[in-house]
Amino acid sequence: MKTESRLEKVLASGALAVTSEVGPPRGALPEKVRQKATLIKDHVDGINVTDNQTAMVRMSSWAAGVIIKQMGLDPILQMVTRDRNRLAMQSDIIGAYSMGINTMMCLSGDHVKFGDHANANGVFDIDSVQLVQTVRRMRDEGKFQGGADIDTPPKMFIGAAANPFADPFELRVMRLAKKIKAGADFIQTQCIFNLDKFEKYMEMMCDRGLDQQVHLLAGITPMKSVGMARYMKNKVPGMDVPDDVIKRMAGVSKEEQPEEGIRIAIESIQRLKEVKGVHGFHIMAIEWEEKVPQIVEKAGLFPRPVL
Amino acid sequence: MENFEPEIVAFCCHYCAYTAADMAGSKRISYPPNVKIIRVPCTGKVDAIHMMKAFEKGADGVYVAGCLEGDCHFKNGNTRAGYRVAYVQKILEELGWEKDRLAMITMSAGMGERFARTAREFTEKIKELGPSPIKQFNTDTHQQAAG
Amino acid sequence: MITAEQKPLKEIIEYISPYNRILLVGCNECVTVCAAGGRKEVGLLASALHLNCLKQGKTIEIKELTLERQCDPEYVEELVSEIGRVDAIVSMACGCGVQSVAARYKETPVFPAVNTKFMGASVAQGIWEERCKGCGDCMLGITGGICPVARCSKHLLNGPCGGTSYGMCEISPDVECAWCLIWERLKALGMEKRYEEIMEAKDWRPAGGGGPRKIIREDLSL
């Protein structure tokens, strides 16, 4: 084991892992964090805590992560390179690790243009691949990015994101390989709606033997309505929602659409469980955390392994 | 301002509007004497500074009259002139002037009647807008002094 | 070259409102090419300022001058004979030119008439796009001749991010994804393998992170 991470242990055991996420509140509301975490705590192995997602200011991911840690749960600290330079990121990593956080996700982050501080300057001192590399060297070599030794290095289990659907498709597996080379231990993917395309991606990944080098968790998002499906198809950059999924959502009454969205999510998990290289699922139920237990249970992923 | 007679400068392309003006003359179609024609080899030759200088020197209205779309003798001089007119209109607006004091107009060499009508209509429009802001100031102070 | 755009007239008018005699100085270099502050634009701006004053029944004296290069002390010196006769200088050069004039003529206020934008290239008549951030450590040799620092919205050195659609950047369908361009070019050159080499975290010192930059060429100094 490289770390004390619960997620690492579950993945090492060969079981399919389950993670989900909590978006911190836009205010000093620790209770909100606890509420959201409580909804999913028995059904996941790790809880991603998003970092100013969609470039909107929220409670910092490490502070919300500490709240979750204090509940005896396992936060996965998300960190975007948009808001901090390498000094700030490394100090936050040490700080988070000192508070018991041992798993993290390295991301570039949405452009500030999309958020409520569009006039801010994006930092992007380093990119997500370089952040993975930095965290890995901190852990394995005990070195800061600047080269100095760390007295008691943080031992983080390192995650990175992959979007199998963004352009250009042929580059996506190479990009994954690059993140693995940089030191990613696990990967969480973008929401998967186009299962055929995703399976093709996994095939390309396995052909290169990358499934032996990294744990990939497939991203699942239940859709609440056909409106949300259309929005994701047309408005969210790099999202691939096939027409037949939209047709299926539109084929049922408005009241039944949430249920249909959950059914699609469950069916997707059941199909992807069989795909070589898929080592677990990352369920992103956007402002719909209460549905995570139901999805996990119906997909046959419950109970979670006890370590 | 009932007896206001505007001064209007019309930059006319040699190949169309200028010839049209000539035709209006020979056909004895009258148009207001307010319009002072400046012949140019192509409206593409009319620069922003020419339009600005016309206003600076006291013109109440300025228009650029070129060939019909696609008929420019030099391919696209009239299109360029159109862009420049729009550019100067923007400057006028920034200065708080009415942008309608400046216009781009197109016609062919045979349209003597259209030339005359355009000259009449533009003169009417400028009459409605009143004297150039430069002169308005002079008149205001003059009236104040008289009052 | 350095690109620029004229400031809103309102701002320029406000700067010069206390003054009656203005020296309006253009530059024959970059700002002439991007039609922001060359001889022609000096004439247009002077005319607009005159129109504005005439409207208020005032007059203003504007001396128009366009220097060969406003960022060079040799040429800035040419203004010396005008300085005593004006109340203020309005410069239509880039920020470098404005500062060269301000540094030389300390007693006369200098105002910028343009916003200096970026180092760019002309992609079509009347259209300029950013191409270089002046990072001081050019990596075009390994990125297929396309700069990720200047052209990727997140200046990712190991892109593309997950926001690309149809070869365009997530920030706008009008902005090309630099990494898609790099990838296409590497493919065309048969250098796909290069993509998987990790580019290390950039040293931003040559880019300005180390403070204001300077070049000293002793072989050229007098």
Beta bridge partners of residue A160, listed in sequence order: A106, A187
C164–A127 CB contact, under 8 Å: no
A168 touches chain C (CB under 8 A): yes
Please report whether residue A130 resides in a domain. Answer: yes
Tell me the residue type at A23: G
Please report whether residue B74 resides in a domain. Answer: yes
Please report whether residue B139 resides in a domain. Answer: yes
> Other CB atoms closer than 10 Å to residue C70's CB: what's the count?
27
The tally of domains found in chain A comes to 1
Per-residue pLDDT of B57-106, as tens digits, reads 999 999 999 999 999 999 999 999 999 999 999 999 999 999 999 999 99
Closest-CA residue in chain B for C10?
A: B94
C9–B95 CB contact, under 8 Å: yes
Residues of C within 8 A of A114 (CB-CB) are 170
Please report whether residue B140 resides in a domain. Answer: yes
In chain C, the percentage of residues whose pLDDT exceeds 70 is 100
Query: Which of C9, C11, C47 has the highest number of chain B CBs within 10 A, making it the mutation to test binding with B?
Result: C47
Which chains, if any, share at least 3 CB pairs under 8 A with chain C?
A, B
Own/partner contacts of B93-98, CB < 8 Å, gap of 24 or more, are B94/C8, B94/C9, B94/C10, B94/C48, B95/C9, B95/C48, B95/C51, B95/C52, B95/C55, B96/B133, B96/C55, B97/B55, B97/B133, B97/C51, B97/C55, B98/B129
> Other CB atoms closer than 10 Å to residue A107's CB: what's the count?
24
Integer Cα distance of A293 and A283 in angstroms: 10
Q: Which of C93, C73, C88 is nearest to C25 (CA)?
A: C93
C54–B94 CB contact, under 8 Å: no
Please give the average per-residue pLDDT across A153-170, as a whole number.
95
pLDDT above 70 for B146: no
Closest-CA residue in chain C for A123?
A: C154
B86 touches chain C (CB under 8 A): no
Fold of C2-118: Rossmann fold (3.40.50)
How would you classify the pairing of strands C127-132 and C114-124? antiparallel
Per-residue pLDDT of C76-129, as tens digits, reads 999 999 999 999 999 999 999 999 999 999 999 999 999 999 999 999 999 999
Residue B140's pLDDT band (boundaries 50, 70, 90)?
Answer: low
Integer Cα distance of A105 and A161 in angstroms: 7
- Can you give the pLDDT at residue A235? 87
DSSP state of A149: B
Please give the average per-residue pLDDT across B38-43, as a whole number.
98
Residue A208's pLDDT band (boundaries 50, 70, 90)?
Answer: very high
Please report whether residue B120 resides in a domain. Answer: yes
The answer to whether the beta carbons of residues A281 and A19 sit under 8 Å apart is: yes
> Other CB atoms closer than 10 Å to residue B49's CB: what's the count?
17
Please report whether residue B115 resides in a domain. Answer: yes
C55–B55 CB contact, under 8 Å: no
Q: Where are the domains of chain C?
A: 2-118, 133-207
Let me know the angle formed at the C-alpha of A181 by A211 and C146, rounded to the nearest 5 degrees: 120
The backbone region for A3, taken as left when phi is positive above 0, alpha when psi lies in -120 to 50, beta otherwise, is beta
Which chains, if any, share at least 3 CB pairs under 8 A with chain A?
C
A133 touches chain C (CB under 8 A): yes
Residues of C within 8 A of B47 (CB-CB) are 40
The answer to whether the beta carbons of residues C124 and C196 sit under 8 Å apart is: no
The backbone region for A280, taken as left when phi is positive above 0, alpha when psi lies in -120 to 50, beta otherwise, is left
Please report whether residue A193 resides in a domain. Answer: yes
pLDDT above 80 for C7: yes
C59 touches chain B (CB under 8 A): no
Tell me the residue type at A60: S
Q: How many secondary structure helices (H) and strands (E) does chain A include? A: 11, 8
C196 touches chain A (CB under 8 A): yes
- Can you give the pLDDT at residue B147? 40
pLDDT above 60 for B18: yes
Per-residue pLDDT of A259-283, as tens digits, reads 999 999 999 999 999 999 999 999 9
Please report whether residue B33 resides in a domain. Answer: yes
- Can you give the pLDDT at residue C222? 83
- Can you give the pLDDT at residue B145? 46
Please report whether residue A1 resides in a domain. Answer: no
Own/partner contacts of A93-98, CB < 8 Å, gap of 24 or more, are A93/A135, A93/A138, A93/A154, A93/A156, A94/A150, A94/A154, A95/A62, A96/A62, A96/A65, A96/A66, A96/A154, A97/A154, A97/A155, A97/A156, A98/A154
Q: Find how far residue C117's CA is from the centre of its chain.
A: 4
Q: Which of C131, C111, C99 is nearest to C11 (CA)?
A: C111
We report the CATH number of the domain holding residue B133 as 3.40.50
How would you classify the pairing of strands A157-162 and A186-191? parallel
The tally of domains found in chain B comes to 1
Q: How far is CA A239 from CA A52, A217, C39, C164, in A?
A: 20, 17, 50, 9
pLDDT above 90 for A82: yes
Domain limits for position B124: 8-146
Length of chain A: 307
The answer to whether the beta carbons of residues A128 and A65 sit under 8 Å apart is: no
The answer to whether the beta carbons of residues C51 and C61 sit under 8 Å apart is: no
- Can you give the pLDDT at residue B138? 63
B142 touches chain C (CB under 8 A): no
- Can you give the pLDDT at residue C113? 98
Please tell me the distance in Å from C8's CA to the nearest CA on chain B.
8
We report the CATH number of the domain holding residue A78 as 3.20.20.220
Domain limits for position A208: 6-298
Please report whether residue A304 resides in a domain. Answer: no
Integer Cα distance of A80 and A87 in angstroms: 13
Closest-CA residue in chain B for C50?
A: B56
Please give the average per-residue pLDDT across A198-217, as a whole number.
97
Per-residue pLDDT of C159-215, as tens digits, reads 899 988 889 999 999 999 999 999 999 999 999 999 999 999 999 999 999 999 999
Which chains, if any, share at least 3 CB pairs under 8 A with chain B?
C
ipTM score for this prediction: 0.94
Integer Cα distance of A242 and A239 in angstroms: 10
Per-residue pLDDT of C20-45, as tens digits, reads 999 999 999 999 999 999 999 999 99
pLDDT above 90 for A238: no
